[in-house]
Structure 1
Amino acid sequence: MRKFHVRKLLLLPGAGFLLAGLWALPARAKPAGNLETYFYLHAADEVKGTVVDAFGKPLPLVEIRVKSSSATAVTNTDGEFSIKAQKGDVLILSLKDFNSTEFTVRDADNFTVRLSHKFRPNDSTYQILYGTQKRSTNIQSISEVYTQELNKTYSTNLYGMLTGRMAGLAISQQGGLPGFIDENTASLRDRAPMVMIDGSPGRNVLSINPEQIESVTLLKDALSTAMYGMRAANGILMITTRKGDAGPQRIDFTATAGVTQPTKSYTPTSAYDFARLYNEALANENKPAAYSDADLEAYRTHSDPYGHPDVDWRDEVLRKNALFQRYNLNVSGGRENARYFVSLDYTNQNGLYKTESFNKYNTNADVKRYQVRSNIDVKVNRSISASLNIMGRIQTNNEPGALGLGIMRSILTTPRNAYPVKNPDGSLGGNGSYSQNIYGETVMSGYTNLYTRDLNADLNLRGDLSDLVKGLWAKGTASFYTNFTELIVRSKDNAVYSMRVEPGGDTTYQKFGESTDMSNSTGSNTTERFLFTEAQLGYTRQFGKHGVNAILTGNNDTRTLGSQLPQTFIGVGGRFQYNFDERYMAEVAVGYNGTNRYHPDRRYDWFPAFGLGWNIAKEDFMQSASWLSALKLRASYGKVGNSFNSNRTFGTGESYFIYNQYYVTGTSYSFGTTHTSLTGVREGALNNEFVTWEKAKKANIGLDIAILKNKLSFTADYYNNKFYDVLMTRGSNTALLGVAYPQENIGVTRYTGVEFTANYQNTINNKLNYWVNANLSFNKGVSEFIDEPNKPYSWLIRTGRYTGMSYGYLSDGLFKTDEEAQKAAQLPGAVPRAGDIKYKDLNDDGVINAFDETLITPEKPDIYYGLNMGLSCHGIDLAVLFQGVANRYSNVRMVEFGEEGKNTIYAHHLNRWTPQTAETATYPRLTIGGSFNNTQNSDYWIQNTSYLRLKNIELGYTLPYALTHRIRIASTRIFVNGTNLLTFTKVKDTDPENLAGNYPILKVLYAGINIKF
């Protein structure tokens, strides 16, 4: 007879299983007095075994059920169990975050069953607005990703972690300056989604660390978002943070450290190439050379580093790599009536700028971030429960006084021969054309601090009203979020000096600018305050095969941004879900809400949506297909709105509350013989008292398939979203009115696309676990109506074209001779020559002008995709993520020598047109300050900037449990990780996402250790 000891034991009559409130004593613990209750199973009727994970670690609280009877059992803290069964019986084992497993009893005692982790831990449910939804009955368009995927990619921004992982979501990164959220943008079906954290809308804390997140859910169609009607059109990116589980205390500590390196960026040419090509550009304009043969030879041989410098500014002021470190500590646990999850996180990422020991302050572009989250769930009594979620963040961004982005721009544009870093006497090099020394800007310009403070608190009270009506419940929520940023600037200027060697050999220095003492300024950069309150009343019941779920909500969301007047959203909503036998599904959702930013007579509206679903696999005629788990068709349609139009920002003065007429300061007038000056007041932009939110009618058709006992699943969605009442200013206006036209709700844009997601996971011999997840999205937007002036030619019309396109001239190669250039149609004011771009005269009037402008980028759907795969076996695990974009075309033009002739040139300029390279040249002839003819927008500068990136790879090893449990460690995992390691693209000069030459996108290499107690 085998004995188990537990603090509390409750056998449910007829159900035969232990409640989740069963608390096991620590491993190997002995009974203590009468605190324990014991139960015994007769040896003749029982089998005994142990349940472990893929790494051999015992798993407590695994539920074991005999398939042919009602017998159940739960494993203790050593993973051991006994159950009434016989040889040949099939046991079903299940545990949260693990794949359910069936095991046939062959021995009567001491067998071991191994459970494998799910690739998607909660793949039986989706997080939706106001709760969860079983995937088997869901008909909304939803994508979801979980913590164990997010923490594979290093990023200080949530969007960076989501890249390539979710169908329908496109992430773009313009730069890599540490801690700057704005360098990452997200697009959900071509619109910017609203961010929601733990049910509170409009939150902007995207620097949340992945260990705090339970899941990230995309709500994409009208049905999933209609209850937030006026703010639902762009979809919702919903973050759900982690909660504590009932059971023994769990401590999880992760430490990582590594280096960041810049990915590819534009490469300035050497001083010698710059000088000889500068002379060539002058010769092309029939101007004398700026550099003599002696100058060129000095640049080539580096014989005169002060008079003829060749400074690689990247080497001078940038590090090859920068260190970072991150530490995270999670503590969770509790009992059924009180559970907690606490997370502490510290991130310190250094920038790429070099520093000097003579400074008593930091001049690098660094970020330091401290975060704490505490989620507590308490069951007050059997009917009332409460939760309190608190988040705090302190972040400090440090930069040089001249600001990191400005310095990076100087590095990008300054010729290598502009001036030496320092003169022989130690002074900063410079001259009249370059009065700011890059080295001085980097380490001698002071420093700038941006302090950010966030605080968020959510209080939820939930009451189970089943004593009144079975299945009835109520919930109240109050959430407060505040953000404050303070900018402290302590900067100074430095004089620069130009060295000159006089004919007699004496050296003189000419001064430019003045050195100043450090100035000090401070100010509040941004202040935000959000107060959200909500009440919910819900009803959930199962009547045989009939499932019913209904909810009513009412909420108030007040937000104050900076000095703006508060904006308030008030609304009510409801949803009713019904399913029969998980075979037929129907859902209706509606929102009625409004905001104070519109005219009092036109502030509210209804936003309805409905959907239907049919799981064909549940039909009787499909029961012979035992390999088919789900074959579900679903469709939804609804009307939603968007009060945050992407074409305008609610700011101050004329730009918000535009239903009012405003008057602004006008011209000064002189009166009387004394010519007294009085400032006049003029009428501002015309008001529009009928202004309203833009609206969208969104249709979605989906297909969900699961086969091979859910090992392989496939999801496809087609959407057709018509956005109308889009705010824009009429194109058919006239300046004779004397004031600006107001914005009006007249635009129409349609977005259509398809999305595919496929998942496969399998386990071989309970040892090798492998999985593949792929997603693919096609999207196109079409401007169905934009108010345009009458256009005389069809190619000038923008209505009916794809959104996001570029317009300009069509090129026809380069002119081969001056005679050809003179005979061709020309731009007014331009005198093209051989080697210049030839443009097509579309209307054959002999002139290149606005009537010849047309679409210059291909009208192809945007394509985003990701391939995420991995395996684990004998403690070794590997995860790999590829991410890419196709049909991406961009204007990639870096004008030689800049507009004033002061900028550098790059490697691609070396392949410019000359009489000798006329047949192979890929760049026009060189000019100083940019040729008026060659700098026009045209398809000559459009490049295919599509790419495929090895976004992430991680290799880990979990030490054997037999080794770690001796020192009371549940598991120890060591790992190495790389992010942005390889990029495959046709763009040769720079990273395809950093076309503007901003602070480099970073390649990240790091190692870490995870210890669980």
Structure 2
Amino acid sequence: MSTLMATEISAQIKPIDQTFVRLAKTEGQLLEIFKDIESRTDYRFVYPAEIIEDKSQITVKTRRQSVNDILVDVGTAANLRFKQVDNAIYVAKLEKAVDEGKIEISIEMAAISGKVTDENGEPIPGATILIEGKNTGTATDIDGRYQIDVSEGDVLVFSFIGYNSQRIVVGNQQTIDIVLLEDTSSLDEVVVIGYGTQKKVNLTGAVSTINVGKEAETRPITSLSAGLSGLAAGLHVNQGSGRPGNDGATLRIRGQGTLNNANPLVIIDGAIGNMNHLNPQDVESISVLKDAASAAIYGSRAANGVILITTKQGSSGEFKVNYNTFFSSAQPSNVVETVSNYANYMELINEGFSNSDPNANPIFSQEKINEWRNNEGGDPLKYPNTQWVDEVFQKNIVQNHNLSFSGGSETIKFFGSFGYLDNPGIIERSGYERYTARINLEAELKPWLTLGTQLNGVVANTDIGTNQINSVFTYAGASTPGMILRSPDGRYGGPNNPEDDPQSNNVLHNLNSQMGDIKHNKLSSRFYGKLRPIKGLSVEGSFNYTLDDYMEYAQPVFNNRWDFYTNTISRNAVGRTSVRYENTKDYNYFMDGLVRYDGEAAGKLTYNLMAGASQEYYKNAWFQASKFDLIDPALSVLDAATLDAAANGNASDWSMRSFFGRMNLGWDDKYLFEANIRRDGTSRFAKGSRRWGVFPSFSAGWRISEEDFFNASWLPNLKVRASYGSLGNNAVGNYEYQAVYDAANYVLNNSLYVGFAQTALSNAALTWESTYISNIGLDFDLFDFKFGGSIEAFDKVTKNILIDLPAPLVVGNASIPKQNAAEVQNRGIELNLNYRDQVGEFEYRIGGNFTFVDNRVTRYKGDERTISGSNLIQEGYAINTQYILKTNRLIQTQADLDLVSQMIADAPIDPSTGNQRNPFAAYGTPTLGDFLYEDTNADGLINDEDRVAVGHGTAPRVSYGINLGFNWKGFDFSALLQGTSGLQSIWNDLYHTTGVRWGYQVNQEIAEERWYEGRTDATYPRLLNYVDTRNLRASDFWLQNKAYMRLKNVQLGYTIPREVTQRFKIETFRVYGSLENYLTFTQYKGFDPEVSGTQYPTLKQALLGLNISF
């Protein structure tokens, strides 16, 4: 009997089906074959003497194969059976001949038993014992005991949630007792922080980590930012578009803390970058720095939080190759249905115009309405009833491939990858193709010297039609169902009805009105070195260079539009040929250097000191050139055009220099303290004290669970932490503090001259926006680390926000400079919980995160307010609070009309005239089918003064994510739910309006639920001419709740057992199916609650994928 705590014991004898040899000869006698096998293995044959008396020649294969397969051939030819026991192979004669492949070859199975306990000797019931590479296993009983049949050489894997797994190779034991050690990996986990790493257990700041490597390999993530949704507390992800190549999301960390640029700082392997230019499969992990303690090391760039991205690195060991691929089919997550029956459509247009002006002539004649209705089943080319959704959206297959390799030795480590994405889009001419390549290399040239490089390249090609994509939904809404968008023979249509608007849009015609291409290439490079002259001291430096090159070429394409009713051209394809080129280049140079020193003192004190400096420079250069009248439209260069050449361009740059430092102290692994400081200077502010900003932070932690008085074994980890500090925001224009001049024409002595005129006044007093963050948190793990999480509370105040203030006296056309005058506060809580356990071979997990943010503008323009559409910015309210009318009722009965009459009778007297005022003068007197708005200020009048602040802005107050999954016998399942609540916005655009317009679509739901004469149960008001806006005012009727819960991802995978895949030299072979964004639960009626207005919708996808490693 043996008690084992090692993670692996060397194998003694492998089974014959796992031992491979190549025999010397293709023919031989039995004894020769046995000796050949014995010379190449540790096996010994045991047989009766009479067996080898047979001198017949037996044919065998000389290719490399298992001993088991060789013996099958030998047994078939010589009528023998075999049995392996340890290293002995027993041979016996069969009584009668059998068919090939039915030779009896057995491997002796032995019953192994034992007991699984913890370090204290307590039994662990329910622990799993699996034979590695096989779907065979068992579990311990209530006393921790088990029994399992194994073969010598099998590898047993002992595991239980909360403990480290152990692998034991079976030899000749009969009993194996195992002591499982407690899994403290969650405490030993290393988290990437600014300019370094730190054990998670020692963190005193607010940091969330995301295992992107696993997510990207199993989900159809083509945009890294969009793939983060629902994965971290405090991080809100809003994917405002599903457009290929431009499906990146807007990220907010703990709410919107400024009235200006609120995007977080993104750091990729130590250098500032754009995460949407990364291949998601190249990313290993992401750290989200949310408070001042964790982010202050980045100073003026970190007011909106920091996202640290670490790409995959090489490791010492065997050369490994991984191939991941998926194919997916996508469709819009939701569509807005419009009226497609053209006869009904014509009647609705007539109804709306008649409601606004009963004396007006109808837009469409009854003759045409009847003609269309009588021919609904007739010629579809002549009498179309077009639903634009069916014509515009298409089914395509997205494919993504990623090949990576890694490996190295103790001194050199490397990782490389190549990725390819082809996304044709769900709308034609929106295709996107991307190639990515990466190489990460690190070499330890000396024990004291390490050098490395990280290179990343992206080549992206986008269809020129994407320039029209953002207007697709506008053009589709400004269209009519009485039009064929494109005939089967490829011709584009116009309205078939001469009474319809001849200018009505054909969205497919518009999409194909250009030819050309868009090329977007990016190169990112980082070179670094580390010196370790003495123990504990390191000196590091790096240089980064990034080039972002965007090139666009476009030519107009002229296509006729047809009237298929008469089969004639309704609009000739005429226009001037031209060619246009546009190029933008962004250059980024960044270098930094730092010194670290780690040490211990007094036996219990640990310290880490770091100081550094950095310098960065950014430059943007842009130009555009065009020319008209090409000699031949097939020629696409500027010199092929002859007239009206035009060119313009510009360039801008800015730079920043920084000094920073950090001190970490720990006493007895219980008491933790950290201080950070950074001093930044930027060219975006005037020279002097306002150019420089200083941003300090302090944090402390107490590991209560390490105290001697704390003896709650069920709570192995408990830590409380707190932090306070300041951060900056320099996300302002490059020349905001300077007077700006621009070229302008002027006349002097009757001649036209070109000069420069001042277009913006200067303000040398501009300085940093400053954010002050207080944070308190509690981290905990319970029940042998099965259940854990954290709770955070924060208060985030941003001061000196740049806004436009009114000037007392301005003469001229120059714009007024911004001033540091506003203040915004965000307060909130975060909760993160995770639980994992197992029942026998069934392992399961569930986790979730929750964030609540309360946003307020605490200082703005005093009593002044800024209103943009229905959005309000005013002190005391959330950013973009809805400022709208309240609807009293939809007037549908005589009682409703009587109320209107009473309001007219009770109207106040105008003191300037002595006459009674008209309470409805602002919007018009409502009648049947109209809204009656609330007189919220009780002045007897209905006007803009009755608008009130409603809701909490257009950003969510609550965001959350829920993940769950299980693993069982090679199957894996996972699901991710994600959602938000507490946000509302007005939806009253051309897809959702009761204002009808000649040549524009009509919403199907509104058509069915509108008020019309005689109806008293309508949901929507009556249809009116779109210029009659009495019912279209921003009101709570049009206010949509954009809260949603989305099944972000659900997938089921299966990993083929290794005993099968290893025969083909494959380490891992996993297939999976997945659904992305497939179910959304929301009251919002638009395209998608994440998408604003008429943008490219987000997509729901179904896919099949494959992961292979060698």
Q: Which residue of 2 aligns with 1:719?
A: 794
Q: Which residue of 1 aligns with 2:362?
A: 289
- Go from structure 1 to structure 2 and tell me whether the alpha carbon gap of 1:187 and 1:515 turns closer, same or farther (over 3 Å shift): farther
Alignment partners' CA distance in 2, 1:697 and 1:308: 65
Q: Deviation per CA, 1:623-648: give whole Å up to 9, x if none.
A: 2x112121111000001100015xxx
How far off is 1:528 after superposition?
Answer: 1.1
Q: Which residue of 2 aligns with 1:910?
A: 1007
Alignment partners' CA distance in 2, 1:787 and 1:181: 36
Q: Which residue of 1 aligns with 2:877?
A: 801
1:608 equivalent to 2:696? Answer yes
How far off is 1:365 after superposition?
Answer: 1.5
Q: Which residue of 2 aligns with 1:37?
A: none
Alignment partners' CA distance in 2, 1:452 and 1:118: 47
1:837-856 residue pairs with structure 2 within 5 A? 837-856=931-950
Alignment partners' CA distance in 2, 1:405 and 1:231: 31
Alignment partners' CA distance in 1, 2:185 and 2:337: 43
How far off is 1:154 after superposition?
Answer: 1.8
Q: Which residue of 2 aligns with 1:389?
A: 454
- Go from structure 1 to structure 2 and tell me whether the alpha carbon gap of 1:305 and 1:289 turns closer, same or farther (over 3 Å shift): farther
How far off is 1:485 after superposition?
Answer: 0.9
Q: Deviation per CA, 1:466-518: give whole Å up to 9, x if none.
A: 2xxx3111111111111111112133122324467xxxxxx584643533586
Q: Deviation per CA, 1:802-842: give whole Å up to 9, x if none.
A: 12312122222223466755755325364543322222333
Structure 1 length-normalised TM: 0.83
Q: Is the 8 A contact 1:492 1:519 kept in 2?
A: no
Aligned residue pair count: 910
1:467-506 residue pairs with structure 2 within 5 A? 470-498=535-563
Q: Deviation per CA, 1:1-33: give whole Å up to 9, x if none.
A: x9xxxxxxxxxxxxx999xxxxxxxx9899xxx
The one-letter code matched in structure 1 to 2:694 is W
Q: Which residue of 2 aligns with 1:968?
A: 1065
How far off is 1:152 after superposition?
Answer: 3.5
Q: Is the 8 A contact 2:220 2:326 kept in 1?
A: no
Q: Which residue of 2 aligns with 1:885?
A: 980
Q: Deviation per CA, 1:533-572: give whole Å up to 9, x if none.
A: 1111001124433221111111111111234432111111
Alignment partners' CA distance in 2, 1:103 and 1:92: 6
Q: 3-state DSSP class of the match of 2:555?
A: strand
1:996-1011 residue pairs with structure 2 within 5 A? 996-1011=1093-1108
Unaligned runs of 5+ in 1: 3-15, 19-26, 31-46, 59-77, 82-90, 355-363, 501-506, 651-655
Give the alignment partner of residue 857 of structure 1, picking from 951, 956, 969.
951
1:241 equivalent to 2:311? Answer yes
Give the alignment partner of residue 738 of structure 2, picking from 646, 660, 674.
660
The one-letter code matched in structure 1 to 2:933 is Y
- Go from structure 1 to structure 2 and tell me whether the alpha carbon gap of 1:731 and 1:923 turns closer, same or farther (over 3 Å shift): farther
Q: Which residue of 2 aligns with 1:36?
A: none
Q: Is the 8 A contact 2:286 2:308 kept in 1?
A: yes
User: CA RMSD of the aligned region, Å?
Assistant: 3.8
Alignment partners' CA distance in 2, 1:221 and 1:518: 56
1:456 equivalent to 2:524? Answer yes
The one-letter code matched in structure 1 to 2:210 is V
How far off is 1:324 after superposition?
Answer: 1.0
Alignment partners' CA distance in 1, 2:186 and 2:402: 21
- Go from structure 1 to structure 2 and tell me whether the alpha carbon gap of 1:465 and 1:564 turns closer, same or farther (over 3 Å shift): same
Give the alignment partner of residue 620 of structure 1, picking from 708, 721, 727.
708
The one-letter code matched in structure 1 to 2:987 is V
Q: Which residue of 2 aligns with 1:440?
A: 509
Q: 3-state DSSP class of the match of 1:872?
A: strand
Alignment partners' CA distance in 1, 2:575 and 2:179: 70
Q: Which residue of 1 aligns with 2:35?
A: none
How far off is 1:461 after superposition?
Answer: 0.7
Q: Is the 8 A contact 1:55 1:961 kept in 2?
A: no
Q: Is the 8 A contact 1:49 1:80 kept in 2?
A: no
Q: Is the 8 A contact 1:391 1:456 kept in 2?
A: yes
Give the alignment partner of residue 176 of structure 1, picking from 242, 261, 265.
242
1:24-423 residue pairs with structure 2 within 5 A? 56-57=132-133, 100-101=164-165, 109=173, 124-146=189-211, 147-181=213-247, 184-190=250-256, 192-270=262-340, 271-285=342-356, 286=358, 287-300=360-373, 301-302=375-376, 303=378, 305=380, 308-319=383-394, 321-353=395-427, 364-400=429-465, 403-418=468-483, 421-422=486-487
Alignment partners' CA distance in 2, 1:811 and 1:617: 57
Q: Which residue of 2 aligns with 1:539?
A: 597
Give the alignment partner of residue 850 of structure 2, picking from 771, 776, 794.
776
Q: 3-state DSSP class of the match of 2:301?
A: coil
Q: Deviation per CA, 1:319-349: give whole Å up to 9, x if none.
A: 1x21011111111111110111111111111
- Go from structure 1 to structure 2 and tell me whether the alpha carbon gap of 1:373 and 1:929 turns closer, same or farther (over 3 Å shift): same
- Go from structure 1 to structure 2 and tell me whether the alpha carbon gap of 1:786 and 1:247 turns closer, same or farther (over 3 Å shift): same
The one-letter code matched in structure 2 to 1:804 is N
Alignment partners' CA distance in 2, 1:149 and 1:390: 23
Q: 3-state DSSP class of the match of 1:620?
A: coil
Structure 2 length-normalised TM: 0.76
- Go from structure 1 to structure 2 and tell me whether the alpha carbon gap of 1:670 and 1:801 turns closer, same or farther (over 3 Å shift): same
The one-letter code matched in structure 1 to 2:932 is K
Q: Which residue of 1 aligns with 2:803?
A: 728
- Go from structure 1 to structure 2 and tell me whether the alpha carbon gap of 1:113 and 1:900 turns closer, same or farther (over 3 Å shift): farther
Alignment partners' CA distance in 2, 1:897 and 1:145: 46
Moved more, 551-560 or 292-301: 292-301
Unaligned runs of 5+ in 2: 9-17, 22-112, 117-126, 135-152, 622-649, 905-918
How far off is 1:391 after superposition?
Answer: 0.6
Q: Which residue of 2 aligns with 1:63?
A: none
- Go from structure 1 to structure 2 and tell me whether the alpha carbon gap of 1:720 and 1:728 turns closer, same or farther (over 3 Å shift): same
Alignment partners' CA distance in 2, 1:908 and 1:486: 43
Alignment partners' CA distance in 2, 1:911 and 1:945: 23
Q: 3-state DSSP class of the match of 1:277?
A: helix
Give the alignment partner of residue 767 of structure 2, picking from 689, 692, 713.
692
Alignment partners' CA distance in 2, 1:130 and 1:753: 28
Alignment partners' CA distance in 2, 1:219 and 1:839: 47
Q: Which residue of 2 aligns with 1:43?
A: none
Identical aligned pairs, as a percentage? 25
Q: Deviation per CA, 1:234-272: give whole Å up to 9, x if none.
A: 110110011111111111111211211222121111223
Q: 3-state DSSP class of the match of 2:368?
A: helix
Q: Is the 8 A contact 1:229 1:591 kept in 2?
A: yes
- Go from structure 1 to structure 2 and tell me whether the alpha carbon gap of 1:122 and 1:339 turns closer, same or farther (over 3 Å shift): farther
Alignment partners' CA distance in 1, 2:338 and 2:620: 42
The one-letter code matched in structure 2 to 1:661 is A
- Go from structure 1 to structure 2 and tell me whether the alpha carbon gap of 1:182 and 1:175 turns closer, same or farther (over 3 Å shift): same
Q: Which residue of 1 aligns with 2:627?
A: none
Alignment partners' CA distance in 2, 1:125 and 1:183: 28
Alignment partners' CA distance in 2, 1:490 and 1:380: 54
Alignment partners' CA distance in 2, 1:424 and 1:489: 26
Alignment partners' CA distance in 2, 1:906 and 1:617: 62
